[in-house]
Amino acid sequence: MKILIIGGTRFVGRPIVEAALARGHTVTLFHRGQTNAELFPQVEHIIGNRDGGLAPLAHRRWDAVIDTCGYVPRVVEQSARLLRDAVEHYTFISTISVYPDGSPPGMDEDAPLAVLKELEHACRVSGDKAGLRDCLRQQALTLLPHDEERALAECKEWERLCHELGDNRSLQDCLHLQSMLLLARGDNGAGLALLKRQESICRDLGDREALQASLRDQAFFMALHRDP
């Protein structure tokens, strides 16, 4: 097989190259030329930068790609898009960096993921409030169910941006999520108050489906905590 390996000169990439060569495959390496560039002189080395510097890979074909060094979705998306029609198979080896620092020993692939702050920062710098709103919403959902306090903090800023943007449709989703978080930790008064606010917004929007969900949740929690 003709195999393109992105990275390949350190960590897990190096033994992958060694194994591929031992099996008689034709290997091409794509890397920045900054770490162990002298390794594997018998193979083709293409020097470039996977973050915005993929041009040397254009108009080439391989049977497979093994991507060993993608640390954020944005850069992996660039190479996957460029090589989509140039390869039969794309293998991406993820990184432990997708999990928060300090994650406990013994965790498996279902452990909570770290929150990508890169997009949030870009939205803040550019003043893109709508983009930041969407980013905060996604971060809040990603944090559940393992970090409810951080999810609640993201929701509060999401709520503030909804008010600034006049986006009541997103606001009612935000209030509903906040109410569920508060009710789950036993803060029934604050949780029900948010459900009441959501109910009012749903009525103003004419969103019957969301209104029914809000009323159902209110009735459920009021019945659950009614004094005997």
**Comparison of pLDDT for 175 and 116, the residue scoring more:** 175
What is the percent of the chain with per-residue pLDDT over 70, rounded to a whole number?
A: 79
Looking at this protein, which amino acid is placed at residue 32?
A: R
User: 3 and 91 in contact (C-beta within 8 Å)?
Assistant: no
Q: For the chain, what are the domain ranges?
A: 2-98, 118-224
CA distance 158 to 152: 10
CATH number belonging to the domain at 2-98, selected among 3.40.50.720, 3.40.50.300, 2.40.30.40, 3.40.50.10880 = 3.40.50.720
pLDDT averaged over every residue in the chain? 82
Element (H, E) at 152: helix 148-165
Q: Which CATH class is domain 118-224?
A: mainly alpha
pLDDT at 225 over 70: no
pLDDT at 83 over 80: yes
**Sole residue written with tokens 């996604």:** 138
**Comparison of pLDDT for 19 and 221, the residue scoring more:** 19
Q: Residue 106: its pLDDT value, please?
A: 76
pLDDT at 96 over 60: yes
Residue pLDDT, tens place only, 123-174: 555 566 666 666 667 667 766 666 778 788 888 888 888 888 888 888 888 8
CA distance 25 to 3: 7
pLDDT at 222 over 50: yes
CA distance 66 to 4: 6
pLDDT at 23 over 90: yes
Element (H, E) at 5: strand 2-6
Q: Residue 210: its pLDDT value, please?
A: 84
